[in-house]
Structure 1
Amino acid sequence: MSQERSYTIHPDLDALDFDPDEIEPSIPLKKVPAGDIFEASRAGDVDRLRYLIESGMNVNARDTWDSAALYYSCLAGHLEAARMLLESGAICSEHTFDGDRCHYAALNLTVRKLLKAFEARPPPLGPLQGALRDMFLRCRANQVFVEEFENPVRLMGQSLLNDGSNSNDFPPDITFFVQGRPIEAHRVILSARSSFFKRRFETKWKDRREVRFASEKLSYPALYSLIHFFYSDRLEVTVDDMEDLVEICKVCKCEGLQKVLEKEMFHQRHAEYKALRNVDNSQKRFILQGLSLPEQDRLQAALHFILQTSLANSNRQNADISDTLSGFDEIQASGSADDLADICVKVGEKSFRCHQVILASRSEYFKARLSHMTDFLERQDGLSSHSLPFLEEHDLSTEAFEKMIEYMYTDRLKDIDPDQAEEIFDAASRYLLFPLKRAVADALIPHLEMVLPAELCQWLILSDMYGVLKIREYCLDLIACNFETFADTPEFRAMLLTLPPPSGDSLLRTTHPSAPGASVNSDQGNLLDDLREKWLEAEAAELDKRDESAALFDKRLEMLVLIAERENADVHADDSLSA
């Protein structure tokens, strides 16, 4: 028989009284996501999934059992986890290996309906991919193919065929004829995505506007699908054309895409009994998101490389410019084989080698300017016709323009100087490049986590002025959760003097943060109305006491405004005395 172990309490400890609140940590512990994407999908942990997806995790990656994360979320019936994966590009098309597994394994009808919805409506493209895809589909020859072979329902509003535009405002610079049918494209996109096209445009096809392929074995639908993928980072190909597409990928040196297609074809052969070819004769399609490929094989990486090459050539060109105009011509003509630049934009004393299709697809300002100007030559300095077409931009620093084209080519900003933010916000509005504001906000949020309350007030005013909602919401959330800390700062009180007062009538208040008030026709509500709403959320006010709590908040603001007015008067009195 084992002896029971006796326990005694130390006399000094026995005399201590513990308050339960003292046991809790003084700083709330932030949950740190753990585990891989497969575990998160099995558990339906949407917070962990969001963290992994935002970290760049491939949603179509496979585990040791050759299963994707979407399969596990469907198998367990986690609807929100499945939706998050689908919105991030997870493959769910029927008659593909992954799609069939998800459809057959789905726990209930609700999950199956979700899969069907995303099969009919692929997730939306990013701003860069969507802009280039629109440019590709505006080419008349490419529209004809879509009109003949594509189901309009599949495009779900993304098609440009019914928008009244029958011609492309910015024409292609190369046309391929396959089996007598044309495919229109732009050299820089093809060169960025394929070393085969890059080499051909530098040599055999350098001065050609048309390329005719004599081989009858070359499949027009397969080549069209590949070029469409180069623009949109989304591959849509019929299963019957996949074998031809693999052969084209071999020639075009698209190794990453080729491997994915070969693996899918292997699964197709072993799952062919499911296709019911004798019953259903409709064409089955394979859809692949660019996120399923390694990062170096995606559109952003390809255009980032082109941008870096262009910037390097621009820096060399600017460094080597001599006082003679002829020397400038020679430098402009040089380097074109490396970067395929077809436009030169001068900002201040610096010239940037750029690509018209990128500028025109990302910015309506550049699209209009490039498509309506004779030869695009704005200078009157007598330069020869061998130099690149030339645009000049004013009231913009070279640093801001470089950040702007970084976003236009890659859809992201690696980093940013906070002192540049206001100029870039202004440039985003002037150049009709509004998504740039969100990219700047994404790059600035880590910086805002370390700024003092006084500087945060400045960011709130700036973000409200330019409509940068992400920074505006971040500042309002932080101020609402630390209201008394900010109320003690003279900068916050001084800011109150510059803002419109909050709505006194509860019917005119903003009912949701950043929603417009009943009498205000704008995308943003009154700043102090939104601050009040966020403060009520942070204080967890009871519903039946919200109006009472809101009135107390307004009285607190009134008191702070009176203090700010007195402080302002004291400052003016001191200034007049010193004068």
Structure 2
Amino acid sequence: MSDRQQWTIDSDLDGIDLDPEDFKASVPLKKVPTGDVFEASRAGDVERLRYLLESGVNVNARDQWDSVALYYACLAGHLDAARMLLESGAICSEHTFDGDRCHYASLNLKVRKLLKAFEARPPPLGPLQAALRETFLGSRANRTYFEQSDNLTHFHGTLSNDTSTSCQFPPDVVFFVQGRPIEAHRVILSARSAFYMKKFESDWRNRREVRFSSGKLSYPALYSLFHFFYSDRLEVAVDDMEDLIRICKVCKCEELQKALGKELIHQKYADYKSLRDEDNSQKRFILQGLSLPEEDRLPAALYRILQCSLAKSRREENLENGTEELVSGVRALLMSDFGDDLADICIRVDGKIFRCHQVILASRSEYFKARLSRMTEFLEGTNRLPGDTLPCLEEHDLSTEAFEKMIEYMYTDGLKDIDPNQAEEMFDAASRYLLFPLKRAVADALLPHLEMVSPAELCQWLMLSDMYSVLKIREYCLDIISCNFETFADTREFRAMLLELPPPSGDSSLRTTLPSAPGAGVNTDQGNILDDLREKWLEAEAAELDKRDESAALFDQRLEMLILVAQQENTGNDTDDP
């Protein structure tokens, strides 16, 4: 009897026999503390790889041999490294140059099955890109083409079945190519392309429809480019790549044009059998915006538009008391200084006017989407600028500084910096405007500040983060307190905080080491701060598994003592009051 192990495998892999040895990496696992993403993937150093990916390394970048990091992880059979790269957005779809290389280079069946599992999952999009993509595909004409194109569905992924996707913020311009429409928004196209910005300032300024007469212009190629403008992810058939390169040249998308030209060479001269035999209409090229320089990505493009709008808002604010003639003259000067910002809505906050763009507000916030979709030709407030024709909304109970930071996030998916004193107002605004990812952006901007605060102040941040469900700050505070528990126990503010918190549950089932009964439900409610602190303290103290219950009981007793001390301190303060 043969000692070779037979495997049940996918039909397209029939006939392949694998030994257990085939699952071993061809390169031994080792540490590369100073290696780049390619070295870390080749060596299987997942810690170094995690550090590089969290630092913002382009997961789909190529080295001097035109290979991506995922290729090296697959070639060496490092399953964990490959999974980490795939979860970070590495492209593995078959019928793409990089995807096919990874599939054919995979050392073992486990890696190939991993690629198959991720193949149907489109690369992840950030909140900004996902929201604008939904808006683009929410337009009737764009959605119709999407649904009719079977070859696109595999790569784009599926849309929500919610009927609200068909009621996204309506387009303000429609392009007809060979009689077929593509619906779009002026500000998005202008932000991504100097060609469209110039056209909307001149020839197409007052036009809602633009019809292209050239029969050579490819509808699928232009559709793919517009989809890229909204989502920062390009998905195009190889057959349409040459047409798209010509369009990019006209639209002055130089970096995208370079990337397409280089990829077209790969596609034309690839030596892989499937690439030669496969119909080019089925072969796809997928490009993440992260592969382009930062200034050519969606957040940077919208940030430039936002800065232009804010500059105009500040200049116009200084003219509120001027005459209409003066305002008109200065507006002409503003246009020459900044160009057309294509703002179509004014938001008045605490007496200050912000020029904004409805499609951005409606795409990012359900609150603004609801207000804007139900109101036309509306006006709030009476102190408008003379001659201003933009509709105006007024927001209350919000500072101008907080609103400016909020729209910075809405346009860019991030915050460059933030005043810690603004944090609570920002958390409140995120809840009020249904912009919950803003909380994480605020937390990311605040973490460097939290590294330098005192224990007393950290307790305040813990309470604030728990109140507004800012998990990242809450976890950070609990980690610091659990690792330095005795230091905090000696802090009067920490003891006082214990009086304001619900007591720990005392339920040993939350910390038991015994296995649960088959089919028993698992208690996943970790809302109690002291329960969570107890668990983190046990992890920090590395308690033996068979002593966790005893250690947790000691922790609870320590808390009870601290609470008694806090009550005595509180009583003493009340006695001292006159």
TM-score using structure 2 length: 0.88
Comparing 523-532 and 398-407, the one that deviates more: 523-532
CA distance in 1, matches of 2:387, 2:512: 59
CA distance in 2, matches of 1:536, 1:491: 23
Match of 1:85 in 2: 85
Letter in 2 for 1:94: E
Match of 2:112 in 1: 112
1:131-210 aligned at under 5 Å gives the runs 131-150=131-150, 154=154, 158-160=158-160, 162-165=161-164, 167-210=166-209
The answer to whether the aligner puts 1:542 opposite 2:541 as a matched pair is: no
Match of 2:102 in 1: 102
Q: 1:156 to 1:342 in 2, by over 3 A?
A: closer
Match of 1:27 in 2: none
Length, aligned pairs only: 539
Q: How many Å apart are 1:116 and its aligned residue?
A: 2.3
Match of 2:458 in 1: 456
CA distance in 1, matches of 2:86, 2:235: 16
Q: How many Å apart are 1:231 and its aligned residue?
A: 0.1
RMSD: 2.5
Q: 1:249 to 1:279 in 2, by over 3 A?
A: closer
CA distance in 1, matches of 2:461, 2:392: 36
Q: 1:519 to 1:65 in 2, by over 3 A?
A: closer
Match of 2:378 in 1: 376
Native 8 Å contact 1:89 1:291 kept in 2: no
User: Unaligned 5+ residue runs, structure 2?
Assistant: 1-30, 514-519
Q: 1:32 to 1:495 in 2, by over 3 A?
A: farther
Q: 1:316 to 1:74 in 2, by over 3 A?
A: same
CA distance in 1, matches of 2:331, 2:499: 53
Q: How many Å apart are 1:443 and its aligned residue?
A: 0.7
Q: 1:405 to 1:323 in 2, by over 3 A?
A: same
Q: How many Å apart are 1:46 and its aligned residue?
A: 1.7
Q: How many Å apart are 1:32 and its aligned residue?
A: 10
The 3-state SS of whatever aligns with 2:203 is coil
CA distance in 1, matches of 2:522, 2:61: 47
Match of 2:470 in 1: 468
Q: How many Å apart are 1:311 and its aligned residue?
A: 1.1
Q: 1:404 to 1:500 in 2, by over 3 A?
A: same
The answer to whether the aligner puts 1:76 opposite 2:63 as a matched pair is: no
Match of 1:359 in 2: 361
Native 8 Å contact 2:320 2:385 kept in 1: no
The 3-state SS of whatever aligns with 1:60 is coil
CA distance in 1, matches of 2:291, 2:235: 14
Match of 2:303 in 1: 304
Native 8 Å contact 2:191 2:197 kept in 1: yes
CA distance in 1, matches of 2:549, 2:76: 44
Q: 1:565 to 1:449 in 2, by over 3 A?
A: same
Q: How many Å apart are 1:376 and its aligned residue?
A: 3.1
Q: How many Å apart are 1:219 and its aligned residue?
A: 0.3
Match of 2:7 in 1: none
Native 8 Å contact 1:378 1:392 kept in 2: yes
Letter in 1 for 2:210: V
CA distance in 2, matches of 1:50, 1:194: 34
Q: 1:220 to 1:523 in 2, by over 3 A?
A: farther
The 3-state SS of whatever aligns with 1:338 is coil
Letter in 1 for 2:188: I
Native 8 Å contact 2:327 2:386 kept in 1: no
Letter in 2 for 1:210: E
Native 8 Å contact 1:95 1:274 kept in 2: no
Match of 2:419 in 1: 417
Comparing 89-98 and 476-485, the one that deviates more: 89-98
Native 8 Å contact 1:321 1:331 kept in 2: no
1:447-498 deviation digits (Å, cap 9, x = unpaired): 1111110000000000000000000000001101110000001000000000
Q: 1:222 to 1:573 in 2, by over 3 A?
A: same
Q: How many Å apart are 1:309 and its aligned residue?
A: 1.1
Q: How many Å apart are 1:543 and its aligned residue?
A: 1.6
Match of 1:47 in 2: 47
CA distance in 2, matches of 1:524, 1:455: 23
CA distance in 2, matches of 1:224, 1:153: 14
Native 8 Å contact 2:309 2:341 kept in 1: yes
The 3-state SS of whatever aligns with 1:167 is helix
> Of residues 521, 526, 529 in structure 2, which corresponds to 1:527?
529
Q: How much identity, in percent, do the aligned residues show? A: 76
Q: How many Å apart are 1:387 and its aligned residue?
A: 2.1
The 3-state SS of whatever aligns with 1:288 is strand
Q: 1:214 to 1:223 in 2, by over 3 A?
A: same
The 3-state SS of whatever aligns with 2:397 is coil
Native 8 Å contact 1:321 1:327 kept in 2: no
CA distance in 2, matches of 1:326, 1:174: 31
CA distance in 2, matches of 1:147, 1:118: 22
Match of 1:6 in 2: none
The 3-state SS of whatever aligns with 1:320 is coil
Match of 2:35 in 1: 35
1:403-414 aligned at under 5 Å gives the runs 403-414=405-416
CA distance in 1, matches of 2:266, 2:232: 22
Q: 1:166 to 1:338 in 2, by over 3 A?
A: closer
The structure 1 segments of at least 4 consecutive aligned residues displaced by more than 4 Å after TM superposition are 155-158, 276-282, 323-337, 380-386, 508-511, 518-524
CA distance in 2, matches of 1:393, 1:382: 14
The answer to whether the aligner puts 1:269 opposite 2:271 as a matched pair is: no
Native 8 Å contact 1:487 1:560 kept in 2: yes
CA distance in 2, matches of 1:90, 1:382: 50
Letter in 1 for 2:462: L
Native 8 Å contact 1:503 1:509 kept in 2: no
CA distance in 1, matches of 2:63, 2:403: 43
TM-score using structure 1 length: 0.88
Q: How many Å apart are 1:275 and its aligned residue?
A: 3.3
Q: How many Å apart are 1:521 and its aligned residue?
A: 10
Native 8 Å contact 1:329 1:383 kept in 2: no
CA distance in 2, matches of 1:395, 1:32: 52
Comparing 174-183 and 61-70, the one that deviates more: 61-70
Q: 1:103 to 1:155 in 2, by over 3 A?
A: closer
Match of 2:569 in 1: 567
Match of 1:251 in 2: 250
The 3-state SS of whatever aligns with 2:353 is strand
Q: How many Å apart are 1:274 and its aligned residue?
A: 2.3
The 3-state SS of whatever aligns with 2:166 is coil
Q: How many Å apart are 1:332 and its aligned residue?
A: 7.0
Match of 2:479 in 1: 477
Match of 2:399 in 1: 397
Letter in 2 for 1:531: L
The 3-state SS of whatever aligns with 1:547 is helix
Match of 1:226 in 2: 225
Q: 1:176 to 1:521 in 2, by over 3 A?
A: farther
